[in-house]
């Protein structure tokens, strides 16, 4: 390994007591490849296992905590005890290859396809429909339902513990239910769950508290709790970087193992709520980086990109598309073969990268998502 890349392979001790063998994490990416009943498939297990040798940890694709939270076709579930065995199959395959495994837990809210949820009824903080042609208007959740979903995040955490996971990541980003409660664009409530910034933060913090409570009650050994969030919204009436500073400040008080900024580009700069003198990531680290590790992600393609991101203050880096294109990305850097990293896909590469059919079709038929060449 080249001297300049050695910092990528230093151990990292998390607050919970778990130590990651290096600073590289497989980012959570939906793969559309689970069975309709929420169990994982053999192809999905093989896909994860193929990418688990080099990384310090694997964050799984999101898994739904209630039946009305299923956000994707081919998504696996954590909403009933019947799924613990299936969850364990995936955890075991990843851990056998030396990586820690973190289950990402979520509720899709208004983003759920109606055909995937009971009675076709989507729910959210308020009745604001997604900005897409033909999008269904969600039903606002009642007070008892809000508490049921909060409790469901705790129960999904218990199942993750029983299934042998090393941790969970609360998915509060990318427009899903927790994000919908935090956003003034999607949360128009006038009760304790909406209105002021303090009230809009109540649901994310209540979910975090339920997850932490489940860990305290059920985990017999150290267990990771992370939280993923989006830094700001495009909508004029959406949340800004200034709002996010308040959220991450509150989350930093929760003694989490890490925060995970959801970014398409690690080096992107703010739109609103902070000036452009720093990147979004740098602003967040400046605010809370001394209290909680902030994981970086987004367009980190090469070993040099990763080294630069780490040097900018990122203690952990999540790598996504690059580990789909080249599952040996980490090992090649570690072995001094970074020049051999494969950076593009061809339509004949499915067997090489061991990607299940549903994800492969999405990659091939979504121009611009992945670097696919003839």
| Model pTM score | 0.97
pLDDT tens per residue, range 276-324: 999 999 999 999 999 999 999 999 999 999 999 999 999 999 999 999 9
Helix/strand/coil for 101: strand
The dihedral through the CA atoms of 112, 118, 119, 124 has a sign that is negative
- pLDDT on residue 196: 97
What are the Cα distances from residue 151, in Å, to 67, 230, 234, 251? 14, 23, 31, 19
Please report whether residue 38 resides in a domain: yes
Please report whether residue 52 resides in a domain: yes
Number of domains in the chain: 1
Please report whether residue 130 resides in a domain: yes
- pLDDT on residue 50: 97
pLDDT tops 90 at residue 252: yes
% of the chain surpassing 90 pLDDT: 97
pLDDT tens per residue, range 147-162: 999 999 999 999 999 9
pLDDT tens per residue, range 71-119: 999 999 999 999 999 999 999 999 999 999 999 999 999 999 999 999 9
- pLDDT on residue 132: 87
Taking Cα atoms as reference points, which of 213, 204, 195 lies closest to residue 173?
204
Please report whether residue 374 resides in a domain: no
- pLDDT on residue 288: 97
Please report whether residue 369 resides in a domain: no
Element (H, E) at 316: strand 316-319
pLDDT band at 272 (very low <50, low <70, confident <90, very high): very high
Please report whether residue 371 resides in a domain: no
Tell me the average pLDDT across 210-217.
98
181 Cβ contact list (under 8 Å, min separation 6): 125, 187, 193, 194, 200, 202, 203, 204
Residue-by-residue DSSP string for 255-285: T-SEEEE--S-TT---SSSS-TTS-HHHHHH
pLDDT tops 90 at residue 63: yes
pLDDT tens per residue, range 121-148: 999 999 999 988 889 999 999 999 999 9
% of the chain surpassing 70 pLDDT: 100
Please report whether residue 370 resides in a domain: no
pLDDT tops 90 at residue 374: no
pLDDT tops 90 at residue 167: yes
Note down the domain range covering 161.
3-364
Taking Cα atoms as reference points, which of 180, 175, 174, 199 lies closest to residue 139?
180
pLDDT tops 90 at residue 354: yes
What are the Cα distances from residue 13, in Å, to 257, 285, 341? 9, 18, 28
How is residue 176 written in tokens? 């899903």
140 forms bridges with which residues in the sheet? 124
* 23 touches 12 (CB < 8 A): yes
Element (H, E) at 102: strand 100-106
d(CA 136, CA 134): 6
What CATH number does the domain containing 278 carry? 3.20.20.70
Please report whether residue 85 resides in a domain: yes
What are the phi and psi torsion angles at 187 (to 5°)? Answer: -110, 105
User: Across the chain, what does the average pLDDT equal?
Assistant: 97
> Burial level of 96, CB count in 10 A (0-12/13-18/19+)?
exposed
Report, as residue numbers or ranges, the catalytic residues.
176
């Amino acid at each position: 390994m080249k001297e300049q890349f050695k910092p990528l392979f230093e151990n990292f001790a998390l607050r919970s007591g778990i130590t990651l063998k290096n600073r590289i994490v497989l980012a959570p990416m939906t793969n559309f490849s689970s069975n309709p009943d929420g169990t994982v498939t053999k192809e999905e297990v093989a896909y994860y296992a193929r990418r688990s040798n080099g990384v310090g940890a694997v964050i799984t694709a999101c898994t739904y905590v209630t039946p009305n939270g299923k956000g994707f076709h081919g998504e696996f579930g954590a909403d009933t005890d019947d799924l613990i065995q299936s969850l364990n199959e995936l955890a075991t395959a990843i851990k056998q290859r030396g990586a820690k495994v973190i289950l990402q837990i979520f509720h899709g809210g208004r983003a759920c396809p109606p055909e995937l949820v009971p009675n076709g009824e989507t729910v959210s903080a308020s009745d604001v429909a997604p900005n897409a042609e033909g999008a269904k208007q969600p039903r606002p959740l009642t007070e008892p339902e809000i508490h049921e979903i909060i409790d469901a995040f705790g129960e999904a955490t218990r199942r993750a513990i029983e299934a042998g996971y090393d941790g969970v990541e609360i998915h509060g980003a990318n427009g899903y239910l927790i994000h919908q409660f935090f956003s003034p664009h999607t949360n128009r409530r006038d009760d304790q769950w909406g209105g002021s910034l303090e009230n809009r933060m109540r649901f994310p913090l209540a979910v975090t508290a339920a997850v932490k409570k489940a860990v305290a009650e059920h985990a017999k050994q150290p267990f990771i709790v992370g939280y993923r969030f989006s830094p700001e919204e495009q909508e004029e009436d959406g949340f800004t970087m200034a709002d996010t500073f308040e959220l991450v400040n509150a989350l930093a008080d929760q003694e989490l193992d890490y925060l995970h900024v959801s970014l398409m580009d690690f080096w992107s700069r703010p739109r609103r709520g902070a000036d452009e003198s720093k990147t979004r990531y740098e602003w967040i680290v400046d605010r809370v980086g001394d209290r909680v590790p902030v994981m970086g992600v987004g367009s980190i393609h090469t070993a040099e990109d990763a080294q630069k991101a780490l040097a900018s203050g990122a203690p952990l880096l999540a790598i996504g598309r690059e580990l789909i294109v080249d599952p040996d990305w980490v090992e090649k850097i570690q072995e001094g073969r970074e020049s051999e990293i494969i950076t593009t896909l061809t339509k004949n590469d499915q067997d090489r990268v061991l990607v299940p059919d549903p994800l492969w079709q999405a990659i091939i038929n979504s121009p611009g998502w992945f670097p696919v060449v003839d």
